[in-house]
Amino acid sequence: MITFKIVTPNGVTYEDDIEKVTIPTGDGEITVLEGHVPLVSTLSAGEILVHKNGQIVHLAVSTGILEIRPNSEVYLLADTSERAEDIDVGRAEAAKARAEELMKQKDALADVDFARIQAMIERETARIGVSKRYRDVK
Ligand code: ATP
């Protein structure tokens, strides 16, 4: 078993003992099973798949940090994270459209603003994708 916890500034969004979890990291997607080597990595916006008792829990996550400890404890410190069923797709689509509108002025944007807007687009794209895939598999 793995002890898995997702912590955001709004609190703990997921906490359970699980069998397996797939996580989007800065170096690509990884799947963590019990006994995984210790690791610290960045989190990328994307989808978390938690496997437990033959069920899969789908969550969207944005940027953050991932820590795998030696005793199969896996911690994600993320800016945001939502369970697929809690995602408001309309809100994510509206936020993505606003960010894309801002991106049109990219020649006038400072690098830091460009990076922020890019991150917003990736966060909303992850929410939309997770929500839609969840509805497809249900
Ligand atoms: P918006 O522009 O739509 O207000 P945002 O992308 O600026 O959203 P965030 O800063 O990413 O919002 O998140 C703020 C809080 O709202 C977090 O707790 C996040 O989990 C939640 N949240 C954001 N977007 C959604 C969504 N589409 N569905 C459900 N919860 C969301």
CATH number at residue 101: 1.20.5
For the chain, what is the mean pLDDT?
95
pLDDT digits (tens, 9 = 90+) for 23-34: 999 999 999 999
Binned at pLDDT 50, 70 and 90, residue 47 comes out as: very high
Q: Are residues 11 and 75 in the same domain?
A: yes
How many beta carbons lie within 10 A of that of residue 131, not counting itself?
22
End-to-end CA distance of the chain: 25
Q: Are residues 40 and 73 in the same domain?
A: yes
Q: What is the pLDDT of residue 3?
A: 98
* Number of structural domains the chain divides into: 2
C-alpha distances in angstroms, 71 versus 6, 17, 25, 41, 76? 17, 12, 20, 17, 15
Question: Strands 73-78, 64-68: parallel, antiparallel or unpaired by DSSP?
Answer: antiparallel
- Distance between Cα 95 and ligand 1 center (Å): 9
Residues in contact with ligand 1 by the CB-under-6-Å rule are 10, 80, 82, 86-88, 91-92, 95, 123, 127
Q: Are residues 15 and 65 in the same domain?
A: yes
Q: Are residues 40 and 80 in the same domain?
A: yes
Ligand 1 atom index nearest CA of 10: 18
- Distance between Cα 124 and ligand 1 center (Å): 8
Q: Are residues 17 and 73 in the same domain?
A: yes
pLDDT digits (tens, 9 = 90+) for 103-124: 998 788 888 888 999 999 999 9
Q: Whose CA is nearest to atom 5 of ligand 1?
A: 95
Beta bridge partners of 3: 17, 73
Q: Output the pTM of the full model.
A: 0.94
Ligand 1 atom index nearest CA of 127: 27
Domain range enclosing 116: 87-137
Q: Whose CA is nearest to atom 10 of ligand 1?
A: 80
